[in-house]
């Protein structure tokens, strides 16, 4: 079997299990079983469960960055990009609920070494958003503010609402229904030039 395909199967199995069970409840043997590979194959590609977890997070962040980059490259106004990025985030709830659960759990990993590595990924993601915001500020499409602070505020806002929308109750359904429009409007009111 192609080595890239095998590694991808391991990452996908890890993503599913980490989202369903959490980091600590998921073991390397469970990931191997879910991926349909031997434990030796897992260790051939990943030295530890932490490495699989980080590969899963990197894959999810990269997917989101590609979506945002594609919108920016279309030359859309900043307000439209913000609206679409928020909509994409909420659409992930429907199609990739395990990814959102995983990212929600990743905000506070319990081991210090993993926490530092997850924080480095988050910094990279926030820095890209800050770059987009800065470009929008320079073009006069977004009001002047501290780009990185604003990026974290936007990420926190969307993550808090989508994290609550993961539940299976009436409040979650309501948040899923009104969340994309309301959050995009709220973000744009804060970012639009005066």
58 CB neighbour count, 10 Å cutoff: 15
Q: Which structural domains are found in the chain, ordered by start?
A: 1-47 (1.10.10.60), 54-191 (1.10.357.10)
Separation CA 88–CA 51 (nearest Å): 27
pTM: 0.75
Highest mean pLDDT among 71-75, 98-102, 105-109: 71-75
Q: How far is CA 88 from the centre of its chain?
A: 11
Average pLDDT over residues 71-100: 75
Using an 8 Å Cβ cutoff, are 131 and 156 in contact? Answer: no
Model pLDDT, residue 98:
56
Q: What is the pLDDT of residues 152-191, one digit of tens each?
A: 998 888 888 887 887 788 998 898 889 889 999 999 999 9
Residue-level length of the chain: 194
Model pLDDT, residue 81:
85
Mean pLDDT of the chain: 84
């Amino acid at each position: 079997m192609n080595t890239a395909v095998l590694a991808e199967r391991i990452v996908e199995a890890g993503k599913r299990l980490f989202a369903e069970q959490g980091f600590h409840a998921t073991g390397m043997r469970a990931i191997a079983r879910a991926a349909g590979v031997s434990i030796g194959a897992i260790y051939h590609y990943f030295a530890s469960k932490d490495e699989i977890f980080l590969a899963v997070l990197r894959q999810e962040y990269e997917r989101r960055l590609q979506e945002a980059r594609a919108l920016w490259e279309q030359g859309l106004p900043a307000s439209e990009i913000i609206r679409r990025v928020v909509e994409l985030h909420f659409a992930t709830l429907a199609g990739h609920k395990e990814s959102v659960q995983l990212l929600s759990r990743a905000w506070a990993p319990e081991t210090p070494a993993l926490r530092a590595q997850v924080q480095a990924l988050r910094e990279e993601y926030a820095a890209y958003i800050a770059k987009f915001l800065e470009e929008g500020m320079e073009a006069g499409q977004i009001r002047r503010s501290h780009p990185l602070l604003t990026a974290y505020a936007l990420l926190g806002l969307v993550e808090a609402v989508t994290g609550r929308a993961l539940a299976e109750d009436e409040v979650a359904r309501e948040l899923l229904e009104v969340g994309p429009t309301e959050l995009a409007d709220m973000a744009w009111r804060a970012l639009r030039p005066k």
